Amino acid sequence: MKAKVTVMLKTGVLDPQGEAVRHALVGLGFDAVQGVRQGKVIELDLAPGTPETEVRQMCERLLANTVIERFTIEMA
């Protein structure tokens, strides 16, 4: 069983890495880029039958800083 956790900064939180990527893309001639938000993807290999609630606890306790980040979980 696998879970994919995507962690992104919450709306309104400054993203200096995303801004640096946007600036670099514009500098390379990609003028259509108006904004970039950078995050992380964490793939977990889990024991069969692991509930999504357990993955949510992992996110809340370690994988995401819930003060400034939001996360989504995809179970497969």
Domains of the chain, with CATH numbers? 2-75 (3.30.1280.10)
* Nearest C-alpha neighbor of 68 from the set 43, 45, 37: 37
Task: State which amino acid sits at residue 22.
Answer: R
Contact 3, 44 (CB under 8 A): yes
Instruction: Please identify which residue in the block is written with the tokens 């994919």.
Output: 4
pLDDT at 25: 98
Mean pLDDT by 10 residues, the chain (76 residues): 98 97 98 97 98 98 98 97
pTM: 0.89
